[in-house]
Amino acid sequence: MKMTKVCATALLTLTASVSLSACIDREAVTPTKENSAISTPEKIVKEKPIPSPNLGISSVSSALYDIKKSKPLYEENPQVVTPIASVTKLMTTYLVLQAIHDKKLSWDEKLSLEPLDDKAAISLYMTTSKKAWTVKDLYAAMIVMSANDAAEALGKRLSDDFPAKMNKTAKSMGLSNRSNFVSASGLDKDGKENVSISKDLFLLASELITKFPEVLDMTSKASYVTSNDYTLKSTDALLANKEIDGLDGLKTGFTDGAGYCFVGTAEQNGKRLISIVLKAQTTDARFQDTKKLMAYGFANQHKTSYEK
């Protein structure tokens, strides 16, 4: 992994001059399967964070919520607006399930995959050499193996301008204008990235789970066998390892710009938590951070937010 450092110096003058030097680490990650993208600068939005304990979280931005509470149990750098890669697929998943419930889409309907511009991105077609799939299999591939062509096929079926539909839905959910969707899959589009903040991703995840709890039947699968007997492996290593009791989702993500991301959820003793980890440096780091967040949250079940 190649690391570069960008430093900015600001001069503040009140009655005396004080020089403050801030350095931001930015990583250049060797392209892997999900995407090869140029990292864009993180946008910083001023917002007073809640005090949080030192859990040794390594990701740039992270948060932990009880699904029934609006205040976080833990948050770190919630003001950072960062690319979210395939975590974007949570919005596509929501809209697919909404269309199924509204009877505007059928699980048995067949769709065709189209080639992706990014040949390195995870692709159901490249994995199986098969173009025609049922909606149910595409839905599974999008969630379990994070197939980008499956997500794009579903998005195209639902709207001629699917990103506009995604952003309209985000607004109706109460997501801030710091979130912006440009593709169904999370891949960059015309040089733009899908971006968000931890609070908005909590709102999206909680709305998805609350309105369509059946989503957990798919997000909890470590593998999935399609209707034509292809086995798809999950990108969520925590499912296979069973390292967190009650963990049943939700979605991983990676691009060079986003780093390694994960929105997780687990339920223990009737309490459901949602964790958000953004811009971790490695795939293992995002899962280690998730384990720390969940352990803290379930050990402090009676707190609505961090208390000193």
- Residues of each annotated binding site: 251
CB within 8 Å of 135: residues ≥ 6 apart: 96, 105, 106, 107, 108, 109, 110, 111, 154, 157
DSSP letter at 304 equals S
What span, in angstroms and rounded, lies between the C-alpha atoms of 133 and 35?
A: 23
Q: Which residues pair with 263 in a beta bridge?
A: 251, 276
DSSP letter at 281 equals S
**DSSP characters over 11-37:** EEESSSEEEEEEEEEEEEPPP-SS---
Based on DSSP, count helices (H) and strands (E) in the chain, helices before strands: 9, 14
Torsion sign across C-alpha atoms 192, 180, 287, 305: positive
CB within 8 Å of 159: residues ≥ 6 apart: 165
Torsion sign across C-alpha atoms 24, 30, 35, 37: positive
| Residue that has been written with the tokens 């899959």 in this structure | 185
Q: Strands (DSSP E) along the chain, which ranges? A: 2-13, 17-28, 43-44, 61-66, 74-76, 80-83, 110-112, 132-134, 195-196, 223-225, 231-233, 247-255, 259-268, 271-280
Structure tokens at 26: 């930015």
Q: Which residues are catalytic?
A: 86, 89, 146
Binding-site residues for substrate sit at 251
